Amino acid sequence: MQIKKINLLLLVIFLVMHCNVAYCVRITVLGSGYVGLITGACFAEFGHEVICADTDVAKITVLQNNHMPIYEPGLKELVIRNVQQKRLSFTNDIDQAIAYAEGIFIAVGTPMDNAGCADLTALSNAFAMIIPHLTSYKLICVKSTVPIGTGQALLEILKSKGIDSHYYDVVSNPEFLREGTAISDFMNPDRIIIGTASEMAQEWMRLIYEPLLEKRIPCIFTTIESSETIKYASNAFLATKLSFINEIANLCDQTGADIFDVSKGMGLDSRIGQAFLKPGPGFGGSCFPKDCSALSQMGNKFGVALNVVQAALKTNEEQKYKPLQKLRVLMKHESLTDKTIAVLGLAFKGNTDDVRYSPAIVTIENLKNEGAQVKAYDPVASENMKKIVPDIIYSHSLYEAVSGADAVIIMTEWDEFKYIDLGLLAELVKQKIVVDARNLLDPRELKKFGFSYSLIGRP
């Protein structure tokens, strides 16, 4: 039966790859968050028939009404187009969605727990709901970021339950989506990573990702463990690169060197590359902090000292206090009590509404603790920040936020902050003090308008 199935599948693949025959796979994505929603919508755009399922009733209701529960450029248009063409739908009925699917992608959150490890509760719950449906073949694909060994452990569970191995395959298929560019990252990835020992599963994945394979996107077939490791090691390396350039920027602050030129000079070395060499207030987001922490814990579990990853995390935590340190110097270590400080940017990065592990949280909490009045502005992330820090002033524009401010701190690289009218800013603020934690502004212009300023690694 298995041989027949593979032959049939191979025939389908041949027809799809060589005769331009379209085969749409019935796909269910479990978890409709930042990863699951983009994954489901893009698979539908490939031509597959996709159900995005989530236990969160409110989230699914929002989606069923053609609204987006997250801010992601281009997502609304992509979702509405595929819903209208009946390739994409949303449901809370997880069982029905699993029964429908040939391929199930688990894209639930695996947040950091109190011990710094990945919390696999949602993954376990999703997997448990799949098991009763394994009375015919289903491809079970883990897209969530999971500790090395998780995929193998899921296979062991199925074996221990005596489920016929013809009825399932488990695949690791990590995502490398950046918030703010997630759709283009999905549609034009640097690589596709597929971890499985099963030939059948490999063929299914070829069918599902055919539009990308047709574009010659590199695809690596490897083991489940290697696939899981590629995900963590990639994020940890990028985080390490960020902590490294932040430390070099801090050195530039003391030596008078300009990190702009240092980054450029470093990045022209093809072994280093220009990306991820912009210093800032530290990395945030739902991935780097948790993935570095989880990887570090895996090192402890397997008795391997991951010193570099741990150092990157330590540096990152310290970096989050840099904007405050710079502010205190500019304000001549005066008390911040009753001072008005404008914080421009709340999201952990530009082009997203996500405030998870945002450095702005550290800045705002410390300003409040020192008795300052905080006026915060972000183009899209204010509502999310209000859930964490409700008791500050949320302004509706950057110029409203800076009016009457004793100092301005730029925390997020939103384009609108790059083009601030410094002449108008000089008129609106009470004191001309600017901390630019993203190096968006030109020091020469700040000097021209009489500002006392501090950037990150720039004289």
What's the CA gap between 160 and 356, in Å, rounded? Answer: 38
Among 71, 348, 377, 394, binds ligand UDX (CB under 6 A): 348
What's the CA gap between 295 and 297, in Å, rounded? Answer: 5
284 near ligand UDX, rule: CB under 6 A: yes
Among 285, 323, 379, 457, binds ligand UDX (CB under 6 A): 285
What's the CA gap between 302 and 291, in Å, rounded? Answer: 16
What's the CA gap between 179 and 34, in Å, rounded? Answer: 8
What's the CA gap between 59 and 53, in Å, rounded? Answer: 10
156: left (phi over 0), alpha (psi -120 to 50) or beta: alpha
290 near ligand UDX, rule: CB under 6 A: no
Applying the rule CB under 6 A, the residues between 78 and 137 that interact with ligand UDX are none
What's the CA gap between 52 and 288, in Å, rounded? Answer: 25
Q: Which residue has the tokens 């005066």?
A: 334
36 near ligand UDX, rule: CB under 6 A: no
DSSP state of 280: -
Amino acid occupying residue 407? A
- Considering all CA atoms of the chain, what is the largest pairwise distance in Å, rounded to the nearest integer? 79
- Active-site option among 52, 117, 141, 287: 287
276 near ligand UDX, rule: CB under 6 A: yes
Among 42, 155, 287, 331, binds ligand UDX (CB under 6 A): 287
User: Taking the complex as a whole, how short is the minimal distance between the CB of residue 126 and ligand UDX, in angstroms?
Assistant: 19
- Secondary structure (DSSP) of 128-185: HHHGGGTTS-EEEEE-S---TTHHHHHHHHHHHTT--GGGEEEEE----PPTTSHHHH
User: Taking the complex as a whole, how short is the minimal distance between the CB of residue 29 and ligand UDX, in angstroms?
Assistant: 16
146 near ligand UDX, rule: CB under 6 A: no
Among this protein's residues, is 141 annotated catalytic? no
Q: Which is closer to ligand UDX, CB of 120 or CB of 242?
A: 242
Q: Which is closer to ligand UDX, CB of 276 or CB of 399?
A: 276
Q: Which is closer to ligand UDX, CB of 198 or CB of 246?
A: 246
Among 45, 102, 175, 436, binds ligand UDX (CB under 6 A): 175
Query: Exposure of 66 by Cβ count < 10 A (0-12 exposed, 13-18 middle, 19+ buried)?
Result: exposed
Name the segment binding ligand UDX (CB under 6 A); options: 177-185, 206-214, 248-256, 418-426.
Answer: 177-185
Give the total of residues touching ligand UDX (CB under 6 A). 19
Q: Which is closer to ligand UDX, CB of 179 or CB of 406?
A: 179
What's the CA gap between 143 and 172, in Å, rounded? Answer: 6
Among 179, 228, 378, 406, binds ligand UDX (CB under 6 A): 179
Among 349, 356, 375, 432, binds ligand UDX (CB under 6 A): 349
What's the CA gap between 196 and 216, in Å, rounded? Answer: 21
Among 40, 103, 280, 379, binds ligand UDX (CB under 6 A): 280
Among 38, 177, 236, 344, binds ligand UDX (CB under 6 A): 177
33 near ligand UDX, rule: CB under 6 A: no
* Active site (catalytic) residues: 287
Q: Using CB under 6 A as the criterion, which residues of the chain lie in contact with ligand UDX when the complex forms?
A: 175-179, 235, 238, 242, 276-278, 280, 283-285, 287-288, 348-349
